[in-house]
Amino acid sequence: MPTAAELTVAEELVALREICSRRVWYLKEIDSLQFHLGLPARDNSSFYLLVDCNCYPVQPPAWDWCDVGGAHRDRLSDRPRGSGFLHTNGVICAPWNRLAYKSLDARGPHADWTIGDWQKNSYTGGCTTLPHMALRVFVELNSSRYTGQRLG
């Protein structure tokens, strides 16, 4: 019997698959709750994320920068430098990223957010599904806010 998280991910990945296929973005589904996503940036480089959707949508997914092979999640050289969104702590700083919560990840910039309220957080806006989030990251990597540099 699939879990609520698995059903939600399966439903939301339909749109993301379509976009990735047409835009030639890298998408590898690791299992029913995790996928590896590659997004091009404005300087023609690419960034990769391992996305863990355990407990989604009760909790937001964890969007973790990683290398092209998905084996390393601890290297500063895999993390873009830019705005507050592309945080210097090495995490995407948004309420829809589980890693932004200090209570769950030491790098999380926010001790003032409650993870169970992530969809109601005013900074979430409409970013409440996986394709919304992926598009938001893509737009950030292709905006002038991304400096064209990496954290390490």
Partner 1 sequence: MEDQEALKQAEAHLDHAETEFKAAETAEHKAEHDVEVALEEVREALKPHEVFLEIATPKGLFEGVFDGKTKISQVIEIVVEKKDLNKKDTFELVHNGQVLQPIDRTLESFGVKHKAKLELVATGSGV
Cβ closest to partner 1, residue 19 vs residue 151: 19
Where do the H-state alpha helices sit in the chain? 4-23, 130-141
Distance (Å, rounded) from C-alpha 32 to C-alpha 23? 23
What is the nearest approach in angstroms of partner 1 to the Cβ of residue 25? 9
Amino acid at 125: G
Q: Which of 122, 112, 136 minimizes the C-alpha distance to 61?
A: 136
What is the nearest approach in angstroms of partner 1 to the Cβ of residue 69? 26
What is the nearest approach in angstroms of partner 1 to the Cβ of residue 83? 6
Taking CA atoms, 111 is separated from 44, 108, 116, 144, 148, in Å, by 35, 8, 13, 28, 29
Residues forming contacts to partner 1 in the complex (CB under 8 A) are 14-15, 18-19, 22-23, 42, 83-87, 92-94, 96, 110, 123-129, 131-132, 135-136, 138-140, 142-144
Cβ closest to partner 1, residue 69 vs residue 126: 126
Cβ closest to partner 1, residue 32 vs residue 142: 142
What is the nearest approach in angstroms of partner 1 to the Cβ of residue 97? 9
Distance (Å, rounded) from C-alpha 131 to C-alpha 20? 10
What is the nearest approach in angstroms of partner 1 to the Cβ of residue 34? 20
Cβ closest to partner 1, residue 20 vs residue 66: 20
Cβ closest to partner 1, residue 40 vs residue 52: 40
Task: Find all residues with CB under 8 Å of 31, minimum gap 6, and list them.
Answer: none
